[in-house]
Amino acid sequence: MMPMPTTSSKQQLADFFAARAAQADAWRAKNSYYYQWLGRLLRFILPPGGQVVDVGSGLGDLLSAVAPTRGVGLDFSPAMTAISARRHPGDHLRFVTADIDREVGSRETFDAVIVSDLLGYLDDIQTALEHIRLLCHEHSRVVVTQYNRLWEPILRLGAALGLNQPKPLHNWLSAREVVQLLELAGFEVVSRGHTFLCPKRWWGFGEFINQTVARLPLLRRCCLIQYFVARPALPVPVRRYSVAVVLPVRGSAAALPWLLERMPTLGSRTEIIVAVADGDLQRSADVDAAVGPLSGRRAVRVAKFSPADGWWSAALVSDAELLMVLPVDGDFDPVVTEKFYRVIAESNADFVVGSRLVYPSAMPAWRWLHHRFLSALCSFTIGQPLTDAACGAFALRREDAVRLPLSTRTPSHDGGAMPFAAAAAQHGLKIAEVPVHFRSGGSADRCARQWAMLGREIRRFAW
């Protein structure tokens, strides 16, 4: 076995990877399950079709796995860069030799930056992360993965026995240290987690462990892979968005006239979209009666949707930059949309949802407890804290909304913001809650359907 470098010398590290480049494919095949799991993790977080840069790209397999429309791989080893270019031909992927410690390596900005198993090799982690910040625009996401420090003796033993590739790591960072370094470099960590407890498939038993047992409290902190999703935290100018407020009509439309009269004007322009099921003659008549008196005074339109497609398809007919959703049952005063707007316009969050569990309300005690338990389990599943996951009032940018998984666009609205918040967390959007005053009660039937929807989200997160 080749002796490993004992110093942090860049030249020794370059020589090490140059000598190992010819064997890299064989080592990857020997530990294929690990790399396939990394690819699954990145595909779950990063939607396909974006512009992605992989810093420390190695053979380029992870960059290819996320299916970017334009991808750039940066690696400080010329031998690795040459192999990855031959391994992944095509105009949409490009591989460049660059040392992120000393140079940015690209003058472009990207939707996503992958930093996978790189921090352990760097001489100057903070400078490298500051250079990575220059590859980001204001809505970029950075995904960092690294080995769990608890696995250091196991990995060293495996390398000695020839079970995994020797790695000249000289940095073993705790999760807290990674978060601090990201913050020093101008990032805000949106979500973090642990995954991959069993490094071998073992005839499907390893897959069962990684999808179920590895997600349990305490045990998940023993997983091999730690991952962090961060966004740029440097100040950005306050934007004036165009806004569409979507009012899905599912039950009574009696409160619709009050909502339309109270709706504030937001941003550069405000459009109100009343979404009603096509063929629902009674509700369509109620909506027309409420919208008619506002003709010429407010930008209000009625959007019909197919019950099979769901009301969310009607929400996307607008070209407004910011989408807000508000229930039509009169549970919320529409002036709350002003608070939602400020949170996103000032870049304090990417997804805003109301919380009905802060202020006193007429909500029955059984329903308050239901929402608390539902939200606690939802928070555990998606990795971001939520107090009221089933609240029906929420807001997000349209560019983020169109990238939500198709499973989110459910015909039902019984789950409130829950499926949308889960998809937002999946793609690394920062979620913020705004306390809202609530006036209604709710039904046990709707609560049962919310638990069924949460079950679907738990299965989806068990990728």
Instruction: Answer for the pair 5, 16: CB distance below 8 angstroms, yes or no.
Output: yes
d(CA 68, CA 72): 9
More confident residue, 51 or 17: 51
CATH number corresponding to 242-461: 3.90.550.10
| Residue range 203-218, pLDDT digits in tens | 889 999 999 999 888 8
d(CA 129, CA 134): 9
pLDDT of amino acid 453: 73
| Residue range 236-246, pLDDT digits in tens | 678 899 999 99
CB atoms under 10 Å from CB of 373, counted, come to 10
Helices (H), 248-389: 256-262, 281-291, 312-315, 336-345, 365-382
What is the largest distance, in Å, between two alpha-carbon atoms of the chain? Answer: 82
pLDDT of amino acid 448: 67
User: Above 70 in pLDDT, residue 332?
Assistant: yes
Residue 231, sorted as left (phi over 0), alpha (psi -120 to 50) or beta, turns out to be beta
Measured in degrees and rounded to the nearest 5, phi and psi for residue 154 equal -65, -45
| Residue range 29-41, pLDDT digits in tens | 788 899 999 999 9
More confident residue, 81 or 314: 81
Among 110-114, 172-176, 454-458, name the one with the lowest average pLDDT: 454-458
Nearest Cα to Cα of residue 54 among 7, 5, 115, 109: 115
User: Above 80 in pLDDT, residue 11?
Assistant: no
pLDDT of amino acid 4: 41
pTM for the full predicted model: 0.83
Determine the average pLDDT of the residues in 225-234.
Answer: 92
d(CA 266, CA 286): 26
Instruction: Answer for the pair 220, 228: CB distance below 8 angstroms, yes or no.
Output: no
User: Above 70 in pLDDT, residue 6?
Assistant: no
Indicate the pLDDT class of residue 440, thresholds 50, 70 and 90. low
pLDDT of amino acid 9: 63
More confident residue, 240 or 282: 240
Q: Which residue pairs, CB below 8 angstroms and at least 24 apart, start in 451-456? A: 451/374, 453/410, 453/412, 453/414, 453/415, 453/418, 453/419, 454/374, 454/377, 454/378, 454/381, 454/389, 454/415, 454/418, 456/407, 456/419
pLDDT of amino acid 88: 92
The alpha carbon of residue 141 and the mean position of all alpha carbons in its chain are separated, in whole angstroms, by: 8
The domain locations on the chain are 10-232, 242-461
The pLDDT mean for the chain works out to 85
Q: Which fold has domain 10-232?
A: Rossmann fold (3.40.50)
pLDDT of amino acid 282: 75
